[in-house]
Amino acid sequence: MSKLCEGRVVIVTGGARGIGREHCLMLAEHGAKVVVNDLGGARDGSGSDQGPADDVVAEIELMGGEAVANGDDVSDWEGAQRMVNQAIETFGDLTGIVSNAGILRDRMLVNMTEAEWDAVIQVHLKGTFAPARWAASYWRDKAKAGEPVNASIVNTSSVSGLYGNPGQTNYGAAKMGIAAFTVIAARELKRYGVRVNAIAPGALTRMTEDLGMGDASEEDRALMHPRYIAPIVTWLQSAESADVTGRVFEASGRLLGVANGWHRGPVVEAVDDPTQIAEVARQLVSEAQLNSGMDGRPFDGGLLS
């Protein structure tokens, strides 16, 4: 079997369990040297334990690959820099980051606490920004020195962020923010030989095990195994994907697609008088495409009677 990622060096954040673990194993299977980053916390972000990251490293080494564990917090500025430096110092280079680390603190808006909001935004948004920033600086310096760069960042958005899921204003806002971050960073970093894409995955993991899959059949549960997310990420981390950037791929069970971003809908000439705008605004809304439901298809979200 040909190895897509031979010679690549990739950091995977949140790489010890679930979707992240599958990323690490498949990247290693395809020849990448992997930095398995994981704080080892609980689903809500509490606690820490490097043991799970060490276990994934051991799995990779057992299959003949190369990997090293990293226990830094992705949202810590200095920790993110240490993570990038560790990859370069250990393997001599860095060609990619898969930002996968995340936590859940679901709550309806009227009950959500400041701490629940802040923690989720911190891990997802800053935890995507900080490693990418240090890696981008490294790649920019290489490009300016005349060295070839073929680098890839793969971020993790969510259908909750793209389409909206009640009970997840914190998580969804962060994940929509990551989609916007992806598009903007792709435009900024292309000049340096860096592509930036994202995935919106759906899989049955400890993050999602209590979100409606409890009564699913064994067949349906098998179809939602996190291993089905890893192929698109492995390809995006390979040199083969150099011409693809700024895209968000949906990877949910056996579905693979591209999510289209916001587009301008119906327009009219601006109305200066707010007392005259009601009919115009309602007409625009009636002509506009509905927002999507969690299945990615138009859905009024129960807002229309």
Closest CA to 200 of 292, 302, 79: 292
Question: Is the CB of residue 20 less than 8 Å from the CB of residue 38?
Answer: yes
On the 0-12 / 13-18 / 19+ scale of CB atoms within 10 A, 269 is: exposed
Determine whether 171 is an active site residue.
yes
Question: Is the CB of residue 195 less than 8 Å from the CB of residue 152?
Answer: yes
Beta strands 9-13; 33-37: pairing state: parallel
C-alpha span between 79 and 92 (Å, rounded) = 19
Instruction: Return the number of other C-beta atoms located less than 10 Å from residue 56's C-beta.
Output: 24
Amino acid letter for position 106: D
Strand order in the sheet with 194-202: 67-70, 33-37, 9-13, 96-98, 151-156, 194-202, 248-252, 255-259
C-alpha span between 238 and 150 (Å, rounded) = 9
For the CA atoms of 16, 17, 22, 25, the dihedral, rounded to the nearest 10 degrees, stands at 30
Q: Which of 138, 171, 192, 228 is catalytic?
A: 171
3-state secondary structure of 194: strand
- Residues 6 or more apart whose Cβ sits within 8 Å of residue 63: 25, 28, 29
Q: Tell me the catalytic residues.
A: 171
